[in-house]
A and B are shown apart, each in its own frame.
Chain A
Amino acid sequence: MSAMRTTILNSEALTRDEAKSARREVQRHKRTAFFLVAPLLVFITLSFVVPIGTMLYRGVHNPAVAELIPETLELLEDWDGKQVPSSRVMTSLALDLQRLAKIRRSGKLAEEINRARPGMSSIIKSSARKMKKTPQDELVNSGAAHLLNAHKAWADVKIWRAIKSVGGVYSARNYLKSLDLERNFDGEIQVRKATKIYLQLYGKTLKIALYITLLCLILGYPLAYFLANIPSKLSNLLMIFVLLPFWTSLLVRTTAWIALLQTNGVINSFFMGIGLTTEPLDMLYTRFATIIAMTHILLPFMILPLYSVMKGIDASYMRAAMSMGARPMRAFFTVYLPNTLPGLSAGALLVFIISVGYYITPALVGGTDGQMISNIIAFHMQQSNNWGLAAALGTLLLAVILTLYWVYDRLVGSNNIKLG
């Protein structure tokens, strides 16, 4: 009797060995899964997480000035900023400048400080040249006088404030600048007095992206509807034409637009040929060119999710609505459109996000008016060498996109996205 009971109990609970082997089995599956994704994980870490992390860090980390003139900055720490600093500070800077001039690094310092106060570049460079010529012991004794002799601007308190402001290793300076803000000497944040370009540029970028998205929607929705409602043999054939831009090089497509839009290009020649205009229209290197060319490039991103969603919508929905008395337009807006929302929002989100960060097409056909934020980021990376500002601008762009996604998620729900 008791033997029977134990067997019953045992048959309900797992023995220790069974539990162990079951656990081992699960762990083996997990290990296999991990090994399968491990290469991708390494790739993503190296190509995505690390660069983005570096970028975020670069936006706030600016050690250049601190490394170049460490002693002067240390002395400036106690300076209250109301009057020109003491001769001790000036002497220290004079010695720093001499040292930098000798190792040919004064240009770097000039560039860095020039960002905080335009016009500083030439003052520092010329002063550094003069310090280099002066013997060192003379500088130790009367460095301040030599510095003031080198350029009268050294008597201006603002220059020293500028130097102090860029001296910190960590600062939000680049982020403030990307938002057209700055910090005054008392540490208060204020609207930047000099140039205000970045907020306007973000606005323009978002506006262009919105135009492109709307245009893709207007062009893509009817086409997707048409493709989803014809025999699949025909729709597969036509789908090739939709995908054709995908398979062509981006550069080729953009260059083709240059050929079409330029002053003596195909479109202008045609318009003048039929007598529509007497003078060629300015189409290339405008915002118009950016919008047209990018719409062309991004259209498949709109059509594909829409098509896949529409393919799954049975014709009986519209029929049911109409049999219940709804006119075709009403049936469309109350029944068909809401059901295409997952594809519509996926397409719109894709096109919008891709176009917000687009670089190559605006760079080639946009001129000055058609430039977007990514072009300015590239400019700071390649030409003005201000990586810190480029990083801050890029980070803000990322933040803008994440915010938009968050808003979208609150309004529509991210579950309502169907990418294909």
Chain B
Amino acid sequence: MTSKNTQSFLQFHNTQKTYDQKTLVVKDFNLSVEKGEFVTLLGPSGSGKSTVLMMIAGFESVTSGDILLDGVSIAGTAPYKRNIGMVFQNYALFPHMTIAENLAYPLKVRKLPGIEIKQKVAEYLDLVELGDFGDRAPGQLSGGQKQRVALARALIFNPSLVLMDEPLGALDKKLREQMQLEITRLHKSLGFTVIYVTHDQTEALTMSDRIAVFNEGIVQQCARPAELYEKPANAFVADFIGENNFIKGTVSSVENDRVRVKISSGEAIMARRADASNSGDACLVSVRPEKLFILPSDHAYDNTLSATFTTRLYVGDFIRYFFDMPDGTEISVKVLNDLAAPDFKEGDTAQLVCLASDCSAFAAI
């Protein structure tokens, strides 16, 4: 196994996990994380992402395969010996201790001298901008403050790795955005390695260096946020990340990384080849609502679709138009709310255009 000797900080080798001795919740998981990287495990609930996190932390055993931290297997190491910081969705601040005592807990366990503990606690309280809150009880803090304390507590003992299990799930939208910035700021200034679990794709896209998209225990795609969004590897990722229109068709020819697809209306369009394989196969072409334009338009385009206007939703900063393809497939188009926003009556036919690079062709599920 030469791969074990590569310099990646955290490595999964064919890691698998079963709870009931029958079905695998995590199947053949492989991932390498570099030091200082912010990697997010994203997926719907029950997709196995939290299980992976629990296996790293040591609260769940590894059924088969291995997890290496700094080149050493941790699969058999007790959780309290792993030196991994963890942030929980419900904060898990000890309610019978003050904020300062909470922060001091990992340092006391490590038998640091009292003065040093005091200094570090003060330092980390300042770091999360809660300098005056040391004597308060966790119950007296707001959700966002609690989460900042939890974050400081997970960082204060210089863990080799920080795990975050949906840490912002319990916060409201505004606070969540604030905390995203906060976590990113701390990550940039302290340079720790993060494995972050969430089901919120916006959170994943804005914060991560890389995202691993989970579904049914399998990593569907692991890539940088932009790549994940622009070049999804399969139909699940295309559907799960952001919004997408899916058009049914048949592959008529394959040219390297491009395919020509004959869609159900009879029109032919060019698309990026994702996992659509052979000509003659049924496929799905995805194109995002903001990548479609309604003629007349100044944008360059490769593909044209004709569709019938059904309705439009006024959202504010943009307007969402809905069209029906001849086979009934609904197409949504996002148009900036400016002077160019067109006017349609129900039943009007429109020409929708897009670039071939903005279309992806997937094997039909």
Q: Which residues of A contact B (CB under 8 A)?
A: 314, 316-317, 319-328, 330-331, 334-335, 338-339, 341
Residues of chain B contacted by A331 (CB below 8 angstroms): 80
Contact with A along B65-94 (1 / 0, CB 8 A): 000000000000001111111101110101
12 contacts between A and B (CB under 8 A): A316-B89, A316-B92, A319-B92, A321-B94, A322-B58, A322-B79, A323-B82, A323-B85, A325-B106, A325-B110, A326-B109, A335-B94
Which 8 residue pairs are nearest across A and B when measured between Cβ atoms? A324-B106, A320-B92, A316-B92, A323-B86, A316-B88, A325-B109, A338-B96, A322-B79
CA–CA, A350 and B8, complex, Å? 58
Q: Report B24-64 residues with CB < 8 Å from chain A CB.
A: 57-59
Chain B: which residue is nearest A324 at the CB level? B106
State whether the Cβ of B240 lies closer than 8 Å to any Cβ in chain A.
no
Interchain nearest-CB distance for B161 vs A (Å): 10
Residues of chain A contacted by B106 (CB below 8 angstroms): 324-326
Q: Which residues of B contact A (CB under 8 A)?
A: 57-59, 79-86, 88-90, 92, 94-96, 105-106, 109-110, 153-154, 157, 163
CA–CA, A323 and B89, complex, Å? 15
Chain A: which residue is nearest B153 at the CB level? A324
Q: Are A320 and B88 in contact (CB under 8 A)?
A: yes
Chain B: which residue is nearest A321 at the CB level? B105
Q: Are B105 and A323 in contact (CB under 8 A)?
A: no
CA–CA, A338 and B82, complex, Å? 25
Residues of chain B contacted by A317 (CB below 8 angstroms): 92, 94
Chain B: which residue is nearest A330 at the CB level? B109
Partner of A324, one of B59, B89, B157, B163: B157
Residues of chain B contacted by A334 (CB below 8 angstroms): 105
| A339-B95, A339-B96 known; A314-B109 Cβ under 8 A | no
Interchain nearest-CB distance for A203 vs B (Å): 34
**Interface SS of chain A:** helix
Interchain nearest-CB distance for A310 vs B (Å): 14
Quick one: which of B79, B86, B90, B94 has the most chain A CB within 10 A?
Answer: B79
CA–CA, A316 and B89, complex, Å? 9
The A-B contact count (CB < 8 A) is 65
Q: Are B157 and A319 in contact (CB under 8 A)?
A: no
Q: Are B90 and A314 in contact (CB under 8 A)?
A: yes
Q: Are A324 and B92 in contact (CB under 8 A)?
A: no
Q: Are B80 and A320 in contact (CB under 8 A)?
A: no
Residues of chain B contacted by A324 (CB below 8 angstroms): 80, 85, 105-106, 109, 153-154, 157
CA–CA, A319 and B81, complex, Å? 13
| A324-B157, A325-B157 known; A319-B57 Cβ under 8 A | yes
Residues of chain A contacted by B85 (CB below 8 angstroms): 323-324
Chain B: which residue is nearest A337 at the CB level? B96
Interchain nearest-CB distance for A80 vs B (Å): 66
CA–CA, A339 and B159, complex, Å? 26
CA–CA, A341 and B95, complex, Å? 12
Q: Are B86 and A320 in contact (CB under 8 A)?
A: yes
Residues of chain B contacted by A328 (CB below 8 angstroms): 80
Interchain nearest-CB distance for A330 vs B (Å): 7
CA–CA, A320 and B109, complex, Å? 13
Residues of chain A contacted by B94 (CB below 8 angstroms): 317, 320-321, 335, 338-339
CA–CA, A324 and B57, complex, Å? 11
Residues of chain A contacted by B86 (CB below 8 angstroms): 319-320, 323
CA–CA, A331 and B88, complex, Å? 17
Interchain nearest-CB distance for A18 vs B (Å): 38
| A314-B90, A328-B80 known; A323-B95 Cβ under 8 A | no
CA–CA, A338 and B137, complex, Å? 15
Interchain nearest-CB distance for A49 vs B (Å): 38
Chain A: which residue is nearest B150 at the CB level? A320
Q: Are B110 and A319 in contact (CB under 8 A)?
A: no
Q: Are A325 and B88 in contact (CB under 8 A)?
A: no
CA–CA, A64 and B338, complex, Å? 105
Residues of chain A contacted by B157 (CB below 8 angstroms): 324-325
CA–CA, A323 and B164, complex, Å? 12
Interchain nearest-CB distance for B79 vs A (Å): 5
Chain A: which residue is nearest B165 at the CB level? A316
Chain B: which residue is nearest A416 at the CB level? B96
Quick one: which of A325, A328, A334, A338 has the most chain B CB within 10 A?
Answer: A325
11 more contacts with CB within 8 A, not counting A325-B83, A328-B80, are: A314-B90, A317-B94, A319-B59, A319-B92, A320-B92, A321-B105, A322-B58, A323-B84, A325-B106, A325-B109, A325-B110
Interchain nearest-CB distance for B98 vs A (Å): 13
Q: Are B105 and A314 in contact (CB under 8 A)?
A: no
Q: Are A322 and B88 in contact (CB under 8 A)?
A: no
Interchain nearest-CB distance for B261 vs A (Å): 48
CA–CA, A417 and B271, complex, Å? 67
Interchain nearest-CB distance for A363 vs B (Å): 42
Quick one: which of B92, B106, B110, B163 has the most chain A CB within 10 A?
Answer: B92
| A319-B59, A339-B96 known; A325-B80 Cβ under 8 A | yes
Chain B: which residue is nearest A323 at the CB level? B86
Residues of chain A contacted by B88 (CB below 8 angstroms): 316, 319-320
CA–CA, A122 and B81, complex, Å? 82
Partner of A326, one of B80, B95, B96, B153: B80
Interchain nearest-CB distance for A314 vs B (Å): 6
Chain A: which residue is nearest B89 at the CB level? A316
Interchain nearest-CB distance for A168 vs B (Å): 55
Q: Are B153 and A316 in contact (CB under 8 A)?
A: no
CA–CA, A101 and B356, complex, Å? 125
Q: Are B80 and A322 in contact (CB under 8 A)?
A: yes
Residues of chain A contacted by B90 (CB below 8 angstroms): 314, 316
Chain B: which residue is nearest A339 at the CB level? B96
CA–CA, A64 and B324, complex, Å? 104
Quick one: which of A323, A331, A335 has the most chain B CB within 10 A?
Answer: A323
Residues of chain A contacted by B79 (CB below 8 angstroms): 319, 322-323
